[in-house]
Amino acid sequence: MKKIVFVGAGSVVFTQGLLADLVAFPELAGMRIALHDIDPERLQVAEAVAHRIAGQSATVTAHLDRREALDGADFVINMVQVGGYDATVTDFEIPARYGLRQTIADTIGAGGVFRALRTFPLLDALAADMNALCPDALLLNYTNPMAMNVWYLSGKVRNVVGLCHSVYWTMRGLADLVSVPYEEISYVAAGVNHQAWVLRFERDGEDLYPRLDVADPQLRRRVRIDMYRRLGYYPTETSEHSAEYVPWLMHHDSELDRLRIPVGEYLRVSEENLAEYKRTRDLVRHGGELDIAGTDEYAPQIIHSVVTGTPRVVYGNVVNDGLISNLPQGCVVEVPCVADATGVRPTAIGALPPQCAALNRTYVSVNELTVRAALEGDPRHVRHALMIDPNTAATLTPDAIWSLADDLTRAHGDLLPEPLRAR
């Protein structure tokens, strides 16, 4: 039966949800699950949780050695967060000293750029191991910054798709807002990860967009509704994410208040994740009952489709090979994909609305410069990426951006690619 490898399995709660989704498919019974993490305690907890969930449905093994885990893999799920919580704190605290406000800081912006740079060495090592031990495996990447990571991996591994749940949960939320069951809606979204756009939103041929034109003043105090009202298309990521990908919000106190933008939100989320891990660890140690539920994530659905030939549509982050005509060729875009026995095949969308493509192109430019910084070993491109980044450029002077980059480079130290480290 197929071998599925979890890289970064110490992300125990996420691992738990993916495993629950996998074992819900009876056709996958007998699968081999290999868990890898570099943290022995987290790996031990993940293994104990996995045995509880899998029961007789799968064989579970745990590996501190990544190559041992990858040997003979059919699917590899990457969910590593290089540097963990401490690096995330650094990504918030140092920019905050310069007056740069961030909400999530994992996609673009100062936090996203440096999260990518400290992830790229791990991706190099993972790609090398996969090429040696499982060259035909499908790499399903969940690690952020999604678009930068998939772009960096393109050409380094044979098969890679970036997966994010933002489109799915956005559409479930929109269905609730217009009081239509999710199962009855049809939709198309496309753009870039965490900044894609709902291009079509219908039920039985009826355009549901007009139902969003609500008068509720509290709902209008959300970034996504504000962007929809001004741009005409609803963005597929939360208001917290969306706020820091544009130049006109984060440095205005009045806009933070009007749209209730939570500065530093991801630090709170990260602390909750740490607390949830500790709760799970303690329950495992003392034989307590775990609250195990599926998550409707795409990776298990793709694996089921590839193994059984069952076709389904998922949203994936893939190289733009003519998929979105008014975004740069070779960048990474998020589009609907068909998963079946042949793998994952993206769908060509054509041109985005020009105002949406214009915002996406700024995002893509930050991606390109960050990837080039690592591929070319050029630290100037790190500074260029921050100068182009909408929130950073709208808040800081060029001299401050240079100093911020220097401080973050020193703080992250050896986690960064060697040519980009402080001299």
Q: What does the domain layout of the chain look like in residue ranges?
A: 3-163+290-306
Query: Has residue 213 got a pLDDT over 90?
Result: no
Mean pLDDT (whole number) for 78-92: 97
pLDDT tens digits for 368-416?
999 999 999 999 999 999 999 999 999 999 999 999 999 999 999 999 9
Q: Is 304 assigned a ligand-binding role in the annotation?
A: no
User: What is the arithmetic mean of pLDDT over 270-282?
Assistant: 94
Greater confidence (284 vs 315) lies with 315
- Alpha carbon separation from 195 to 192, 245, 363, 386 (Å, rounded): 5, 8, 9, 18
Percentage above 90 pLDDT, the chain: 93
Q: Is 168 a residue whose pLDDT tops 60?
A: yes
What pLDDT is attached to residue 293?
Answer: 80
- Per cent of the chain over pLDDT 70 is 100
Check the annotation: does 63 bind a ligand. no
Cβ contact 144:106 at 8 Å: yes
Name 334's bridge partners: 191, 317
Q: Which pLDDT value is given to residue 370?
A: 98
Distance CA 168, CA 340 (A): 19
Which pLDDT belongs to residue 53? Answer: 94
Q: What is the pLDDT of residue 248?
A: 97
Mean pLDDT over 258-285 rounds to 95
Residue 214 has pLDDT above 90, yes or no: no
Give the residue-averaged pLDDT of 9-21: 93
Residue 337 annotated as binding site: no
Query: Would you say residue 215 has pLDDT above 60?
Result: no
Question: Cα angle at 133 between 120 and 193, to 5 degrees?
Answer: 35
The answer to whether the CB of 332 falls within 8 A of the CB of 147 is yes
Mean pLDDT of the chain, nearest integer: 96
* Catalytic (active site) residue 304: no
> For residue 363, what is the enclosing H or E element?
helix 354-376
Dump strand ranges (E) for 211-303: 234-235
Q: Is 199 buried (19+), middle (13-18) or exposed (0-12) by CB count in 10 A?
A: middle
The CATH code belonging to domain 3-163+290-306 is 3.40.50.720
H or E stretch covering 203:
strand 195-203
The pTM (predicted TM-score) of the whole model is: 0.97
Span 364-380, pLDDT tens digits: 999 999 999 999 999 99
Tell which residue, 246, 245, 249, has the closest CA to residue 261: 249
Give 109-163 pLDDT, tens digit per residue.
Answer: 999 999 999 999 999 999 999 999 999 999 999 999 999 999 999 999 999 999 9
Residues 51, 165, 251, 252: which is the catalytic one? Answer: 165
